[in-house]
Structures are given as structure tokens and as C-alpha cells.
Amino acid sequence: MSHSYQPQENKRLEDKSIRARMLISCPDRAGIVAAVSQFLYEQGANIVQSDQYTMDPEGGMFFMRIEFDLQELEQRLPSLQEDFTRVSDRFSMRWSIFRAARRKRIAIFVSKEDHCLVELLWQWQAGDLDAEISMVISNHEDMRGLVESFGIPYHHVPVTADTKAEAEQKQRELTAGKVDLIVLARYMQIISPKFIEQYHNRIINIHHSFLPAFVGGKPYQQAYNRGVKLIGATAHYVTEELDGGPIIEQDVQRVSHRDNVTELKRMGRHIERIVLARAVKWHVEDRLLVYQNKTVAFV
């Protein structure tokens, strides 16, 4: 018998109605923090968390993440954004403001491996992943029962070499206007440049290797052949360069010459699920800024 699950409500949901997050990147110079803080003070906002980082202090880039509370946030946000342009123009900022109460909508793409998908579903059901899983899309039917037991729509879109373009068009129709983030949870298909452009820095992939080592297929076999002493996994944003997008999170585990390829894969699955879940959590909590081919993660 299947059961429909819903994520546990966050106990601080009432606070989220007035909570916003601001992400800023700009050339570094004196006065940025003071100007942003003064602006929010004049708006009547209360800063509850502030993090900043300077990449190369001499002539480099400045990155900032601020969380603040503002009464009647939803009604006041449009005017606040318009007024903030006076500050952003002065410092040549790239910036975004997100309401914490608006959960990001996720589409999970999966093939036959279920461990990363299961981890995301568990964290979502426990309330640890503060997002809405809008759908799961797969090129196989294997995960339908699992996904639908959580009350999440499951779409089977077969992919072959001859139907790849049609399959991707179907995927784009399913996700258009309905998702904010796509997560490739061991989805074993290449995403086209057109699709990637549509979701720029909004597609997260888990690669079963400690990139940039062992890119492409069969990384555990490659690692075994090289006799590595550490195996790992990498979560990264997807770009047109295969396995070459900005890295979000990585982790490793020590191995020895006694571990064969099967054992490396078993240990690797544990690392993969944790690394991907962290990356997705950081993205939906607006903790990531991308600059060139790097990420700044305020965690």
C-alpha cells in the first residue's frame, strides 16, 4: 500500500514571512558593507545574518550574503528593489533578493540508480530540504512506485539516440514555468546546450568522481586503474563543458589496494548522496554565488 508524504512544516515558518535574503557581487572597494547596511536600516529592516568574502583583496571581487527581516515584506519588496538600484549602480553590483517563504521548485532527473534520489526525498520529507519537489523525470520506469509513494508526480520520458531531441523537448514542456532548479540525481544522459542555457546556473549534477580527476564515464574503474587512495564525489553546476561547471561541494573517503571496483562504487554511493544533498540545500537557501567558473558558498 502506498502512502502520500508531505514535508514537515518548519517551526519558524511564521518568521519566514518577513525574512529575505540578498546576494551581492561587485568589484571590491571601501564602503560597500556600510552602504548596504545603511540602506536596509533606512528601510526599517533588521539584519539577522551577514557574510562577506573578498576574492583577491587588491582589485578583486567582493561577495556578500545578507539575511534580514522586514515587516510587510511581500508588499514592500518591489519598492525596496527599485530603491536599492541607487546603491547597486553606485558600486556596479550584480544582486538578487529572495523571499525565504517562497520555496524553490525542484525537478529531479534520475535514471536507474536510486541512492541520490532517495536521499533528497528523505531530506524533503523530514523538512530538512526547504523546497518543493515538483516532479521527478526519468528515462526509466524503475522509480515510479517510490516517487509516487511520496505523492510526487513521476514522468517517464524514454531516451534513445534517435529520440533524444524529442525527449528533451518533452522535458522542457514538463518543466517550463514550473521549476526553479533541476537536479541530475545520477541522470545518465547529456543535457543539450539549449536546455543548459534555459537554466543557467540552475542545473546541479552529481559526478561520481573527485573532479577534475576522472571526468566522463566509469570514473570508479578509472580510479581503480590508477590505484588511488582517496575516492570522492563532486556536485557542480552544469555547463556546456562536460563535468566542467562550477564546483559547489566535494567530499572524499580513504580507500586501499584491497578495495575492488565494486567496493569503490559502494563507498562512492554514500559520498554521492551526501554531497548532492548539501549542494541542493545550499542552492535553495540562496547560499551560492557564481563567479567565472567558481562558486562562493556562504555555509
Mean pLDDT across 35-64: 93
Residues 200-221 have a mean pLDDT of: 85
CATH classification for the domain delimited by 18-99, as one of 3.50.50.60, 2.120.10.30, 3.30.70.260, 1.10.10.410: 3.30.70.260
- Asked whether the predicted pLDDT for residue 107 surpasses 50, the reply is yes
> Does position 269 have pLDDT exceeding 50, yes or no?
yes
pLDDT tens for 131-165 read: 999 999 999 999 999 999 999 999 999 999 999 99
Q: Which residues have a Cβ under 8 Å from the Cβ of 114 and sit 6 or more positions away?
A: 142, 143, 146
Fold agreement between 18-99 and 104-297: no
Domain 104-297: which CATH number of 3.40.640.10, 3.40.50.720, 3.40.50.170, 3.40.50.10900: 3.40.50.170
Residue 100, Cβ density class (10 Å: 0-12 exposed, 13-18 middle, ≥19 buried): buried
Task: Assess whether pLDDT exceeds 50 at residue 2.
Answer: no
Residue 211 has pLDDT above 80, yes or no: no
Proportion of the chain above pLDDT 70, given as a percent: 94
Please, are residues 221 and 230 in contact by the beta-carbon 8 Å criterion? no
d(CA 152, CA 137): 11
Supply the pLDDT for residue 12: 44
Give the pLDDT score at 175: 97
264-293 average pLDDT score: 95
Q: Is the pLDDT of residue 10 over 50?
A: no
253 pLDDT exceeds 60?
Answer: yes
pLDDT band at 57 (very low <50, low <70, confident <90, very high): low
**Extents of the domains making up the chain:** 18-99, 104-297
Amino acid 119: pLDDT: 98
Cα pseudo-dihedral 22, 27, 28, 31, rounded to 10: -60
Average pLDDT, the chain: 92
Q: Which residue has the higher pLDDT, 256 or 276?
A: 276
Q: Side-chain half-sphere of 274: how many Cα atoms within 13 Å?
A: 11
- Quickly count: other Cβ atoms within 10 Å of residue 188's Cβ: 14
The label of the residue with cell 523546497 reads: 131
The pLDDT of residue 287 is above 70: yes
Does 226 have pLDDT greater than 90? Answer: no
Task: State how far the alpha carbon of 221 is from the alpha carbons of 50, 120, 205, 263, 271, in Å.
Answer: 44, 26, 20, 11, 17
Reported as a single tens digit per residue, the pLDDT across 228-239 is 888 889 999 999
Is beta strand 104-110 parallel, antiparallel or unpaired with respect to 131-138?
parallel
- Note the pTM of the prediction, 2 decimals: 0.91
How long a stretch of residues is the chain?
299
Residues taking part in catalysis: 243
Write down the pLDDT at residue 192.
Answer: 94
Per-residue pLDDT tens over the stretch 88-106: 999 999 999 999 999 999 9
